[in-house]
Amino acid sequence: MADITANATCGQDGPEMYCKLVEHVAGQPVRNPQCRKCNLKKQHPIEYAIDGTNRWWQSPSIKNGMDYHYVTITLDLKQVFQIAYMILKAANSPRPGNWILERSLDGVTFTPWQYYAITDTECLTRFNVVPGRGPPSYTRDDEVICTSFYSKIHPLENGEIHTSLINGRPSADDPSPTLLNFTSARYIRLQFQRIRTLNADLMTLAQNDPREVDRIVTRRVSLFNQFSLSFCLSVYSSFLFRFSHNL
């Protein structure tokens, strides 16, 4: 049985409010905001991410601090597998924006498998990788790409990220030693660096004159800063053996 850990989880330090991202019209109040609390009775621990049910893990709300854009998940598979495919499914939030999928054999040294960015520009500025256009494609067996294909704001929930580590690579039909090495991992790490929030987190209430603040915008920022990240994960080996379910 695989082990999974997270360095931050919604409600771990006490009850906290979170809100689902909902469609809204600029300048209009948010109608029927869908807000809930993480607490002892309604938890979303990291173990839910791979328990094979409809439950999910959830990160702390960024209202608690912008540091919660940065959350790390580590999966220990207990032995080395050839990883062929991964599916990350969002729960009640959009898919993550900027993040890195990494692998390791020893749990100490991690190397990137793939970069994900909100925009092609951020592939260059954040990860120093020339972005690919459209669905991911590969020219080498060990090529590490950056894509913005899976970081769109929509859908606002239940979106999926499909990462194939073998299909589409030059030796996919008859794996080369390079591809076998590239897909070998015991530890899988997801380093999240920015969640999607309709850019409300870029707004600030620190105005020179509070009387000039649009009260509707103020309420909207207060609400939208309570967003968090939630998802499930599936991992498949090259023998199509599903050893972890939903992350």
pLDDT in tens, 140-190: 999 999 999 999 988 888 888 999 999 999 999 999 999 999 999 999 999
Q: Which residue has the tokens 């909207």?
A: 220
What is the enclosing helix (H) or strand (E) of 72? strand 71-90
C-alpha closest to that of 183 among 237, 242, 124: 237
| CATH number, domain with residue 217 | 2.60.120.260
CA angle 225, 18, 67 (to 5 degrees): 50
Structural domain contains residue 10: yes
- DSSP 8-class letter at 12: T
Spatial neighbors of 173 by CB under 8 A, at least 6 apart, are: none
- Answering whether pTM is above 0.85, one says no
Query: Computed from CA positions of residues 6, 108, 150, 82, in that sequence, does the dihedral angle turn out positive or negative?
Result: negative
Residue 184 lies in a domain: yes
Are 19 and 223 in contact by the 8 Å Cβ rule? The answer is yes
Q: Report yes or no on 244 lying in a domain.
A: no
Nearest 5°: CA angle at 72, between 148 and 131? 20
Give start and end residues of each alpha helix (H) in the chain. Answer: 120-127, 177-182, 215-224
**Structural domain contains residue 245:** no
**61 lies in some domain:** yes
Q: Summarize pLDDT for 97-149 with one digit per residue, the tens.
A: 999 999 999 999 999 999 999 999 999 999 999 998 888 889 999 999 999 99
Distance between CA 186 and CA 168 in Å, rounded? 23
Structurally, how many domains does the chain consist of? 1
* Residue 221 domain boundaries: 3-238
Instruction: Kindly report, residue by residue over 6-55, the tens digit of the pLDDT.
Output: 998 888 888 887 777 665 445 555 555 577 788 767 778 889 888 888 88
